[in-house]
């Protein structure tokens, strides 16, 4: 069992439909595939990564709040449609005060005007958008290199 720092990868609404939903916008890769690749990458970096998706705002809020009791170091989060609407998720992230990287498969700034506003970006350590599934890899690598607390070697 891996013993490295624990990150949570959180996915918002409709991301369970990846591979079927608007592949011209979101690509053809499934969420299961993205999660599997993300877990393998995290393991190769000495991290533990747990993935969670919900179409329900309250379930995501509950999950974020649970991080404080689970020794979670931070989040990679794709809030999906909640990006533009959810003060509740923003408040949950602020309440737990753990670092997070915001990810979007598409470039939200090249889409409908309402999609260019994020309730999360000003609180995020970094924002990755428009890179498709590669955005998750970039976020995990950034987290590993820049956001994890240095560990003191055991003697």
Catalytic residues: 26, 104
d(Cα 136, Cα 131) in Å, to the nearest integer?
Answer: 9
d(Cα 152, Cα 140) in Å, to the nearest integer?
Answer: 21
What are the CA-CA distances from residue 134 to residues 68, 99, 105, 129 (Å)?
28, 20, 8, 10
């Amino acid at each position: 069992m891996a013993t490295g720092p624990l990150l949570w990868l959180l996915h918002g609404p409709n991301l369970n439909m990846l591979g079927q939903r608007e592949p011209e916008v979101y690509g053809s890769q499934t969420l299961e595939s993205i999660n599997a690749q993300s877990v393998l990458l995290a393991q190769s970096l000495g991290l533990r990564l747990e993935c969670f998706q919900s179409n329900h705002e309250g379930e995501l809020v509950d999950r974020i709040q649970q991080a404080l009791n689970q020794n979670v170091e931070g989040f990679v989060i794709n809030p999906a449609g909640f990006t533009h609407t959810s003060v509740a998720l923003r408040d949950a992230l602020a309440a737990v005060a753990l670092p997070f990287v915001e990810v979007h498969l598409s470039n939200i700034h090249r889409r409908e005007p309402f999609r260019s506003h994020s309730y999360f970006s000003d609180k995020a350590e970094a924002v990755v958008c428009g890179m498709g599934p590669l955005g998750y890899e970039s976020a995990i690598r950034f987290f590993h290199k820049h956001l994890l607390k240095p560990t003191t070697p055991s003697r």
